[in-house]
Structure 1
Amino acid sequence: MKKVVALFLSVLMLLSLAACTAGENTREEPQFTVPLDDDSYVFQANPEAAPLPGGSVIALAAESSSLESGAEALLWKGIQTFASNFGYTAQSFTYGDGETNTAEDALRNAAQSGATLVVCRGEEMAKALFQIQANFPGVHYLLFDGEPHNEDYTVYTTESNVHCVQFQEEQAGYLAGYAAVTEGYTTLGFVGSDELPDVVRYCTGYLQGAEAAAEEQGEEVSMRVWYTGDIDDQNLVVSRLTDWFNNGTGLILANGDDLVQRAVDAANQTGGRVFATDWDQNALGERVLDSAVKCYNAAVQRQLYAFFTSNSTWSQEAAGQTEKLGYTDGSVALAGSTWRFNTFTQQDYERVYEELRNSDRKVETYSDMDTLPETPSVTLEVQN
């Protein structure tokens, strides 16, 4: 009898240990949710994590008009949300709109305000940060979509008080291309401002996604690519895109604030459709099929938490380094605020996203148009 009781107690102990281990694993690896709505994201810390100290100032340096909508507006929302939830103070320092100060002035004013961390974004800020990053060693910076560099892009220097975040645009582009062809579009277009690496990555990801869907469905797809370059005449851009739609292009992926709107203008005249980029621009109208986005709101909240859990400094792995975000942590997505697809379902989207995260699908990085992936199902034409 004693042996039976001892055996029974041993089994109970093993079951208890297994349950504890399973609970620990659950806490360490929370279930991943495929992103759909970056605008509503709120970071949730592990309930068992030590509370953050709070009290510090988090600043955003940005152009005045950019806080109304777009990437900086999402960064600002993320900063405010994080500050409110964890006991910090959010402040913005702006330039432009008739003011005489510059991006460099906005960064300097933010640093001199006593902010612990200054968030900024884009090429103007990258050039400005290059000039002043060493002047305020006690201030830390978080730069999105860029790395500190001089005016002519010949020198790049990132000090240890700076952490840079870039997104893998090719992954967002892949989602757009796959969704477009699955939805039934076989005559595609891409329009971008300049042949810069981030713009090209959107294009080549779009191409790879279209190829994957076309191959699966046994379709033949054509894609026309146009980089507008120095064309300032917006009416000329609309006219060119209108011709594209009239000549059979069913859907255009547009990258660039003005270009998305110009593409929508052309689509309104012709009945074509547009895929927007960077942030959720579905509100521009019914002609916007969807937006392939970078999750700025979610990304900045996660970065802020990492910074403040590292004693309000950049960790050894982050200091002076550039981090590239993508589908691994849900930092690129298709915007689900308005789902205008008829054939490509949200279940399809979630399936493809998980296949990308699990490496069942591959998206290669191409930052120029000189070397491109093989796409036997997609005929590519690059316009001059």
Structure 2
Amino acid sequence: MKKIISMILIATMAVGLAACGSKSDSKNTKKVSKNDVALITDVGTIDDESFNQATWQGVKQYCKENGFKCDYKKPTADSTDARVSSITEACSQGYKTIVLPGYLFGDALIQLQDSFPDVKFVAIDVSKADLKGQKIKDNVVCFTFAEEQAGYLAGYAAVKEGYTKLGFLGGIKVPSVARFGYGYVQGIKGAAKETNTKAEVKYTYGGQFSADDKITAKMQGWYSAGTQIIFACGGGIYGSPLEACGQYKGKLIGVDVDQYSKGTKCEKQHGYNPFLTSAMKDLQNTTVSVLNDIKDGKWNKYSGKIMHYSLKDGDYICLPTDEKSWAFEKFTKEEYKELKEKIAKGTIKVDDNADVDIEKQSDENVTVSLIK
């Protein structure tokens, strides 16, 4: 039934794209070439300081370096139908490479992959679980990342920097967010054991990928009660602890991309940038790399695969090391490099279980409290 509905939608789109629901980056009416690229955002935007923006930056970099055009479309609603509509519009306009950032594209991808066999779909952060048991076809590649390793780096570094009262604010409890959070707890525990430090972790989910007054009030409560630093993980939800931290001189850890620049408002109002670091996945360079391979006729490397990247595969997981973003005073770049090498070699093993019971993660050094 879903497939029938999808086909009806596609047919409708083909005869009347003016009725489509999506917002486009440009009104470029020039003919689309085979190497031009379209990106469809999920519920976020191309300036969300998260994975939509990082992936879009990769698309723009590739097109600028190679002289191709790019465009983006934002579905008008948070629904599979709206995402199907935007993807179909891009296909009907002639795009042969379409980038889809975010787990929400699983259903739309399965519906459309057979309908456009000559279109290559590059799905970022779409896992096997997001596909709900369905197989992807030869015109699809999915990329996933070891978020737990990024979380570990951030948690470990924060404790080594001297923070002992830490928080985790996740957006929606989807596997990628849960892995970030569990990795963060593992990193805190690893550093606390190594330094014989006692630490406390408050852990919660906001149930959404955006900030609001209720979440901000909750974060204000955490900071006022002594929480020193919060890892905000999930799209724009970082806005709530960012709004709450200033009067308490609280700190933040960003996610997906280097979010240090988002602290400039706090710096002007309260005299400091709250971002200690960001737990990052190399979304931009991954996007550039696959698009260049598509251009160079190397699609066979990706065709029909779900590709998982971790530190053992390369520098796909990291903290920002630019001087302007490296806000550590005690944790050194040498320690950071050594930590990454240990994870890459398997000397430090980071569990990737997205279904772990966080309430059972306390040990002799670290107390973890799930706040519902």
User: TM-score interval w.r.t. the shorter chain?
Assistant: 0.7 to 0.9
The answer as to 2:57 corresponding to 1:72 is no
Aligned to 1:277, what secondary structure does the other structure show? strand
Paired position in structure 1 for 2:178? 200
**What secondary structure is seen at the aligned counterpart in 2 of 1:68?**
coil
The corresponding residue for 2:196 is 218
Q: Does structure 2 retain, via aligned residues, the 8 Å contact 1:58–1:117?
A: yes
Q: What amino acid sits opposite 2:68 in the alignment?
A: T
Answer yes or no: is 1:94 the counterpart of 2:73. Answer: yes
C-alpha deviation, 1:147, in angstroms: 4.3
Amino acid in structure 2 at the alignment position of 1:313 = W
Residue 358 (str. 1) matches residue 352 (str. 2): no
Q: 2:309 aligned with 1:325, yes or no?
A: yes
Rate the CA distance shift 1:298–1:125 in 2: closer, same or farther, 3 A: same
Partner AA of 2:310 in structure 1: G
Indicate whether 1:304 and 2:291 are aligned: yes
Partners of 1:296 and 1:256 in 2: CA distance: 15
Superposed counterparts of 1:367-378, under 5 Å: 367-370=354-357, 375-378=363-366
Structure 1 pair 334–168 and aligned structure 2 pair: CA distance change class (3 A): same
State how far apart, in whole Å, the 2-side matches of 1:231 and 1:166 are: 19
Distance 1:141 1:273 in 2: 38
Query: 1:139: which partner in 2?
Result: 119
Rg (Cα) greater in structure: 1
Indicate if the aligned counterparts of 2:211 and 2:237 stay in contact, CA closer than 8 A. Answer: no
**Taking structure 2 as the reference length, what is the TM-score of the superposition?**
0.79
Mapped to 2, the partners of 1:88 and 1:182 lie a distance apart of 45
Write the deviation string for residues 163-197 of structure 1: whole angstroms up to 9, x where unpaired.
Answer: 00011110100000011000000111111122221
TM-fit CA distance, 1:64: 9.8
Q: Which amino acid aligns with 1:301?
A: V
Give yes or no for the alignment of 1:61 onto 2:40: yes
For residue 233 of structure 1, report the CA deviation from its aligned partner: 8.3
SS at match of 2:45: helix
- Deviations along 1:90-149, whole A, 9 cap, x unmatched? 321313469xx9322221222233333211111343332222111011111100011488
Residue segments in structure 2 that go unaligned for 5+ positions in a row: 1-32, 264-272
Given that residues 186 and 220 in structure 1 are in contact (C-alpha distance below 8 angstroms), is that contact kept between their aligned partners in structure 2? yes
Q: CA deviation at 1:378?
A: 1.4
Secondary structure, in 3 states, of the residue corresponding to 2:226? coil
Matched, 1:383 2:371: yes
CA distance in 2, matches of 1:367, 1:297: 24
Is the alpha carbon distance of 1:272 and 1:354 closer, same or farther for their aligned partners in structure 2, counting shifts above 3 Å? Answer: same
Q: Does 1:313 align with 2:313?
A: no
Secondary structure of the 1:74 match is helix
Q: Equivalent residue of 1:89, what SS?
A: coil
Q: Secondary structure at the match of 2:331?
A: coil
Matched, 1:334 2:334: no
Partner in structure 2 of residue 24 of structure 1 = none
- Return closer, same or farther for 1:136/1:88 CA change in 2, 3 Å cut-off: farther
- Look up the equivalent residue of 1:332 and give its one-letter code: I
Greater Cα shift, 134-143 or 281-290:
281-290
CA distance 1:238–1:307, shift in 2 (3 Å): same
State the Cα distance separating 1:232 from its structure 2 match: 8.6
Going from structure 1 to structure 2, the CA distance change for 1:112 and 1:314 (only over 3 Å counts) comes to farther
CA contact (8 A) 1:63 1:94 kept: no
- For residues 65 and 380 of structure 1, the distance between their equivalents in structure 2, rounded to whole angstroms, comes to 30
Return the letter of the residue paired with 1:260. Y
Change in 2 beyond 3 A, CA 1:69/1:370: closer
Q: Is the 8 A contact 1:118 1:140 kept in 2?
A: yes
- TM-score normalised per structure 1: 0.77
Q: 1:137 and 1:230, CA in 2 relative to 1: closer, same or farther beyond 3 A?
A: closer
- CA-atom RMSD, angstroms? 2.8
The answer to whether the 8 A contact 2:211-2:238 is kept is: no
Sequence identity (%): 26
